[in-house]
Amino acid sequence: MIVKFTKMHSCGNDYIYVFGDIPYPEKLAAEASRRRFSIGSDGLVLLGKDEKGNKTMRIYNADGSRARICGNALKCSGCLFSREYGENDLVISTDAGERRVRVKGDEASVYFPLKGITKLSRGSVTAGIVEYEYDLIDVGNPHRVFFGNIPSGDFLLRYGKTFNASDETNADFVEVLSRDEIKLRFYERGSGETLSCGSGTVAAYYAALFRGVTDRKVRAVSAGGVQTIDNDGEAIILTSGVSVAFRGEYEYRI
């Protein structure tokens, strides 16, 4: 079958977006996400509406596993829904609940309700001979947030699965540059290292606020670009640009 898709990214966190249902989406996600061998992406996002007419987003990681929520995918999905239905302020249903998305041109903001975010615990991981402490934060999906010097590329590739508990959690590495700027690196469950992670940025920001090391409004810098993060007392608001990389058709052999 021929699948029509849009390839989009926000700060380099790229997904393949498809309107409607397709058979065996986990198979398509794993097949089409392979870089250099296929379309290439951090995963697959299926967009649609439920029986009540609510806008929906289903996320599949690059290995075909399911993800409950993704901040950058929400931004891109909001942009695609906005272009499809002409709405700039909308609500999208995810496996982690509903999230508000506001679209303004090529920029989008996602609202993560504070009442839906939980600091679960603190723990530690030993990678090599070094022990790394983390805050476990749930923002709709679980994140281990590590503060300090960000690991080098080779080290993270070697120990990524250790940091994210053999694919049970996402791992976010945070270096506090100042009270209004943080530097980030991510190793996501089901996708490996990504250039950006929206929900991971929210988790890192929440953990930094909890520790009292940043102010309310922060620039979050990662390999894929810059996101702005703030809160209005009710929700954490994540904002950045979104871009269409290309559109096309994919021959999906079931």
Kindly report the pTM of this predicted structure.
0.95
Tell me, what's the pLDDT at 55? 97
Collapsing DSSP states into helix, strand and coil, what is residue 228? Answer: strand
The predicted-structure confidence for 69-79, as pLDDT tens digits, reads as follows: 999 999 999 99
Neighbour-count burial of 154, counting CB atoms closer than 10 A to its CB (0-12 exposed, 13-18 middle, 19+ buried): exposed
Residue with the two structure tokens 């001979």: 129
197 catalytic residue (yes or no): yes
Contact 96, 69 (CB under 8 A): yes
Structure tokens at 128: 């090599």
Of 11, 76, 79, 197, the catalytic one is: 197
Residues sharing a CB contact under 8 Å with residue 134, sequence separation 6 or more, in sequence order:
122, 123, 124, 125, 144, 145, 146, 171
CATH numbers and ranges of domains, the chain: 2-111+241-251 (3.10.310.10), 114-238 (3.10.310.10)
Catalytic residue among 11, 70, 76, 79: 70
Q: pLDDT band for position 188 (50/70/90)?
A: very high
pLDDT band at 184 (very low <50, low <70, confident <90, very high): very high
